[in-house]
């Protein structure tokens, strides 16, 4: 008996590129400030790729260049520029990386590096989703990219798009390796021509990116302000060894964690500096505040700050400690947490549960040690936060 059913055929999904691009730029992110975090993170990745490639490619150009990220504001032209002197792109790479939504050059680089090194390379690259670049269209009606690959024999490239589903490519004019991204701001995004506004965004999201970030502004009269001024810390406090830190260092970071201001004499009642590699890699610095924060009972109460590879992804994450320990303040930084594609929220994952278990265990051990070794200090702690511990 013959089978009259038709042989199934395979079809590829089709997508309306302009609609997908609008979805990525207008619906993926909840905060327009994120565009600067994403572009700075991409620039940082480009510098790390150049450092790694230089180890295995002796012919790579620009090895003597000091790594740097430059954010420039041109008030008269209405343009914000993010520039790096990293690995750069060839014409083929620019077409593939910038012209294919959700194609991640960073992820591809990591996969190739792992194959060459027969294991996980020693690289902390940030962007692996391939959509961060397009966040620029939240604030720009046109983006112009000038790039030149660090690999010899590659000509400079110019890439231009208005975010309408198409892009143009032509010969570029860049003389040294790296990438320059110029955002021609929309009328409703002129607020980003304010130097202090951009500095605030960099300090909030990218303060601990390892490479120096310089911010300059050319005002309407053409006068340059802030040349050569580094605006980020470039070294995460929690990555330093506890042995090299003093009480004054911790007090300064406590002030930063508490929002930049504490009352005179407000010192943390206890502190915890954690660095773990197994079963999950993360680093953390936690404090028990000297006084009860005012927001502990509100809906908008603050929790721990969450970083991924030293880039802020959540200002207040309530999934890292149980609710009865919500009086702790501090930061957690991990390379292993699965974030959603916009890197603004967490996905439920066993890694998150592992961090929560380890942090909770360490926090409770800290409280127990304080009660044993410093009864007077623990009495103050109990006076401020005993109600929460009873809740637990």
How far is the C-alpha of 272 from the C-alpha of 284, rounded, in Å? 8
pLDDT of residue 122: 47
How far is the C-alpha of 339 from the C-alpha of 349, rounded, in Å? 10
What is the reported pTM? 0.80
pLDDT band, very low/low/confident/very high, at 164 (cuts 50, 70, 90): confident
pLDDT of residue 90: 94
How far is the C-alpha of 307 from the C-alpha of 80, rounded, in Å? 25
Residues in the chain: 392
Dump pLDDT digits (tens) for 109-162: 344 544 554 444 444 444 443 577 888 999 999 999 999 999 999 999 999 999
Dump pLDDT digits (tens) for 69-96: 999 999 999 999 999 999 999 999 998 8
pLDDT of residue 245: 94
Six token digits for residue 73: 């504001």
**What's the start-to-end Cα distance of the chain, in Å?**
70
Q: Are 370 and 269 in contact (CB under 8 A)?
A: yes
Q: How far are the Cα atoms of 41, 120, 215, 263, 312 from residue 230, in angstroms, in the given order? A: 16, 32, 7, 29, 19
How many Cα atoms occupy the beta-carbon half-sphere of 233 within 13 Å? 16
Task: Provide the pairing of β-strand 140-148 with 178-185.
Answer: antiparallel
C-alpha 195: how far from its chain's center? 20
How far is the C-alpha of 293 from the C-alpha of 290, rounded, in Å? 9
Six token digits for residue 109: 């680089």
Q: Are 381 and 268 in contact (CB under 8 A)?
A: no
How far is the C-alpha of 10 from the C-alpha of 41, rounded, in Å? 38
In the block, which residue shows the tokens 């083929």?
92
**What is the H or E stretch that residue 223 is in?**
none
pLDDT greater at residue 117 or residue 188: 188
Strand partners, 311: 308
pLDDT greater at residue 191 or residue 261: 191
DSSP string, 106-159: HHHHHHHHHHHHTS--S------SS-GGGGGGGTEEEEEEEEE-SSTTPPPEEE
Please, what is the average pLDDT of the chain?
Answer: 84
pLDDT of residue 222: 83
Dump pLDDT digits (tens) for 328-380: 999 999 877 765 544 555 555 677 888 899 999 999 999 999 999 999 999 99
* Closest listed residue to residue 312, CA positions, set 301, 302, 304, 321: 304
Instruction: State yes or no: pLDDT of 49 exceeds 50.
Output: yes
pLDDT band, very low/low/confident/very high, at 168 (cuts 50, 70, 90): very high
Work out the percent of the chain whose per-residue pLDDT is above 90: 50
pLDDT of residue 218: 92
pLDDT greater at residue 27 or residue 220: 220
pLDDT of residue 128: 43
Instruction: State yes or no: pLDDT of 180 exceeds 90.
Output: yes
In the block, which residue shows the tokens 């320990």?
325
- Other beta carbons less than 10 A from residue 64's beta carbon: 5
Dump pLDDT digits (tens) for 236-269: 899 999 999 999 999 999 998 888 777 788 899 9
Six token digits for residue 322: 């149980």
């Amino acid at each position: 008996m013959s089978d009259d059913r038709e042989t199934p055929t395979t079809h590829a999904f089709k997508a309306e590129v302009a609609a997908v691009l609008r979805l990525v730029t207008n619906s993926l992110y909840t905060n327009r400030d994120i565009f600067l975090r994403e572009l700075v993170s991409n620039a940082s990745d480009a510098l790390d790729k150049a450092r790694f490639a230089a180890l295995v490619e002796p012919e790579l150009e620009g090895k003597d260049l000091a790594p740097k990220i430059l954010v420039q504001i041109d008030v008269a032209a209405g343009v914000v520029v993010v520039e790096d002197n990293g690995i750069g792109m060839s014409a083929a790479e620019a077409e593939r990386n910038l012209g294919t939504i959700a194609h991640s050059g960073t992820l591809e680089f990591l996969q190739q590096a792992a194959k060459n090194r027969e294991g996980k390379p020693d690289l902390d690259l940030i962007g692996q989703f391939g959509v961060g670049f397009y966040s620029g269209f939240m604030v720009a009606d046109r983006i112009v990219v000038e790039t030149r690959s660090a690999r010899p024999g590659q000509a400079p490239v110019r890439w231009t798009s208005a975010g309408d589903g198409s892009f143009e490519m032509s010969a570029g004019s860049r003389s040294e390796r790296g990438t320059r991204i110029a955002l021609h701001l929309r009328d409703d995004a002129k607020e980003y021509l304010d130097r202090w506004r951009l500095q605030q965004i960099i300090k909030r999201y990218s303060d601990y990116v390892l490479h120096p970030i310089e911010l300059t502004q050319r005002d309407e009269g053409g006068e340059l302000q802030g040349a050569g001024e580094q605006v980020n810390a470039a070294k995460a406090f929690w990555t330093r060894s506890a042995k090299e830190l003093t009480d004054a260092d911790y007090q300064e970071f406590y002030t930063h964690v508490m929002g930049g201001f504490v009352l005179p004499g407000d010192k943390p009642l206890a502190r915890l500096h954690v660095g773990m590699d197994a079963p999950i890699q993360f680093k953390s610095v936690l404090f028990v505040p000297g006084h009860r924060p005012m927001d502990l009972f509100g809906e908008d109460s603050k929790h721990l700050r969450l970083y991924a590879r030293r880039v802020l992804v959540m200002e207040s994450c309530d999934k890292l400690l149980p609710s009865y320990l919500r009086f702790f303040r501090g930061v957690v930084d991990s390379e292993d947490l699965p974030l959603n594609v916009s890197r603004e929220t967490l996905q439920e994952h066993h890694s998150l549960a592992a961090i929560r278990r380890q942090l909770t265990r360490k926090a409770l051990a800290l409280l127990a040690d304080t009660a044993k070794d410093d009864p007077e200090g623990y009495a103050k702690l109990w006076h401020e936060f005993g109600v929460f511990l009873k809740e637990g």
